[in-house]
Structure 1
Amino acid sequence: MSQLKAIIFDLDGTLVDSARDLQDATNALLAEEGLRQISLDETKSMIGDGAAKLVERAVSATGGDMTRLPALVARFLEIYQANASRHTEAYPGVADTLAGLRGLGLPLAVVTNKPHAATMDILEALGLRGYFDAVIGGDTLPERKPHPAPVLMALGQLGVAPEAALMVGDNYHDVQAARAAGVRAFAVTYGYSHKPHAELGADRLIATMAELLPVVEGGLAA
């Protein structure tokens, strides 16, 4: 097994809990359309595959007009990006873990299906931007996770080969993207997974972000 030289993180459900802001923006859109509001649990079940998929799922669940999806996605982005970090918080242990990993000399990246502008706003607001050498959003490339292209783009910016990298995420698309890119994958057992964690196919499950640093320091031994 190659020595670890870089770590790539998912954002929503891995580094930050953004569900409340996503719920607020989705419900503001639904209210404009005269549709019912969705709960926080419903929102969490819809997160992970990008803004367009979130809006599609929400509009479908509330009986909205699916033929207007492109316009509704555009409106959602206007609403969300104006307040992307109002309630969003880093999960416990995230900042300390990122600082510890940087202290080991590891370059770090974020690869998310969230739009790049909102991603940058959140990282800046939470004081996390400085930890990352590359940030790839869901609109940076034509492809999003589970496609490997965003992961490979991050690796290219970091100058690290796939076999020397680790992806840490919370959902199936994170593990699938990592696998397709030839990268090892860990999954956190909090967040917004759409499948049981044991079925994600990750190399390892971690219950808190704080568990990651000692695992990395120990050479990723199982």
Structure 2
Amino acid sequence: MTSLKAAIFDLDGTLVDSARDLQDAANALLAEEGLRAVSLDETKSMIGDGVAKLVERAIVATGGDTSRLPLLVSRFLEIYEANASRCTEAYPGVVATLEHLRRLGLRLAIVTNKPYAATTEILDALGLRMFFDAVIGGDTLLERKPHPAPILAALERLGAGPDAALMVGDNYHDVQAARAAGVRAFAVTYGYSHKPHAELGAERLLDAMSELLPIVEEACSPPL
């Protein structure tokens, strides 16, 4: 097996818990529309497929009209990007794991369906940006996960082939995108999965980000 050279990560539900800020932005939008607020659990069930889908799900769940969806998405982004990192924080073990991966010489990337501007704001606010050689947002390309194009774009920027990389996410679209790109797929169990974790199709489930390290250390070792 080719020695591991790169690791790609989803953002929301994998590296950071952003649900509270997304809930606050959604509820601010819903209030403007005269609709009820959504709970934190409801918000978590809406995360993962991009901003437009989150807004659509929130509007539908609260009995609103989706005919103005593009305008509502634009307004949501105005609200959210002004406070994208107020309550968002890295999950336990994330910083130490990223530090260790860099010490091992891996090149790292973010591939998320979150817009690029909000992604980089969060990474900067949490002191995570320095770990990543590439950031692919949901608006960086025409395609988003579960399409493999964002994964392939990240690999190109990292200078690594699919057989020398792995992907860590929390949802079905992460696993689907990784597998379609020919990349090993792992999933954390603490994120915002829309399906039971056993049904995601991941090579392995991680209860904590630190569980990735022994896998990576073994994969980084050249074959005898």
User: If the TM-score is normalised by the length of the shorter chain, which range does it land in?
Assistant: over 0.9
> What corresponds to 1:36 in structure 2?
36
> What corresponds to 1:199 in structure 2?
199
Shift in Å at residue 220 of structure 1?
8.0
Residue by residue over 1:143-202, the C-alpha shift from the partner in whole angstroms, topping out at 9 and shown as x without a partner, is 100000000000000010011110000000000000110100000011000001110000
In structure 2, runs of 5+ residues without a counterpart are none
Output the CA distance in 2 between the equivalents of 1:164 and 1:47.
Answer: 29
Q: Are 1:126 and 2:95 counterparts?
A: no
208-217 vs 184-193, which moves further: 208-217
Q: Percent identity?
A: 79
Residue by residue over 1:84-129, the C-alpha shift from the partner in whole angstroms, topping out at 9 and shown as x without a partner, is 0000000000000000000000000000000000000000000000
Say what the alpha-carbon RMSD is for the aligned residues: 1.0
The two structures have a TM-score, normalised by structure 2, of 0.97
Shift in Å at residue 218 of structure 1?
2.4
Q: Are 1:104 and 2:104 counterparts?
A: yes
> What corresponds to 1:115 in structure 2?
115
What code does the residue aligned with 1:211 have?
E
Structure 1's consecutive aligned runs of 4 or more residues displaced over 3 angstroms after TM superposition are none
Shift in Å at residue 70 of structure 1?
0.5
Output the CA distance in 1 between the equivalents of 2:49 and 2:122.
Answer: 18
> What corresponds to 2:3 in structure 1?
3
- Report 1:4-23 matches (<5 A): 4-23=4-23
Output the CA distance in 2 between the equivalents of 1:155 and 1:187.
Answer: 19
Output the CA distance in 1 between the equivalents of 2:127 and 2:219.
Answer: 28
Change (3 A) 1:190 1:220: farther
Output the CA distance in 2 between the equivalents of 1:67 and 1:15.
Answer: 34
Contact 2:21 2:85 (C-alpha < 8 Å) held by counterparts: yes
> What corresponds to 2:47 in structure 1?
47
Residue by residue over 1:8-66, the C-alpha shift from the partner in whole angstroms, topping out at 9 and shown as x without a partner, is 00000000000000000000000000000000000000000000000000001111111
What code does the residue aligned with 1:164 have?
A
> What corresponds to 1:183 in structure 2?
183
What code does the residue aligned with 2:56 have?
E
The two structures have a TM-score, normalised by structure 1, of 0.98
